[in-house]
Amino acid sequence: MTYVITTLCIGSKDASCVEVCPVDAIHPAPEDEAFEAVEQLFIDPRLCIDCDACRTVCPMEAIYTKATVPPDQAASVRENAAFYT
In the complex, minimum distance from the CB of residue 11 to ligand SF4, in angstroms, rounded to a whole number: 20
Task: Identify which range of 7-15, 21-29, 67-75, 77-85 contacts ligand SF4 by CB under 6 A.
Answer: 21-29
Residue among 29 and 51 whose Cβ is closer to ligand SF4: 51
- Compute the residue count for the chain: 85
Instruction: Choose which of 6, 9, 13, 26 interacts with ligand SF4 (CB under 6 A).
Output: 26
Size of the site for ligand SF4 (CB under 6 A): 15
- 18 makes contact with ligand SF4 (CB under 6 A): no
Where do contacts with ligand SF4 occur on this chain (CB under 6 A)?
3, 20-23, 25-26, 43, 48-54
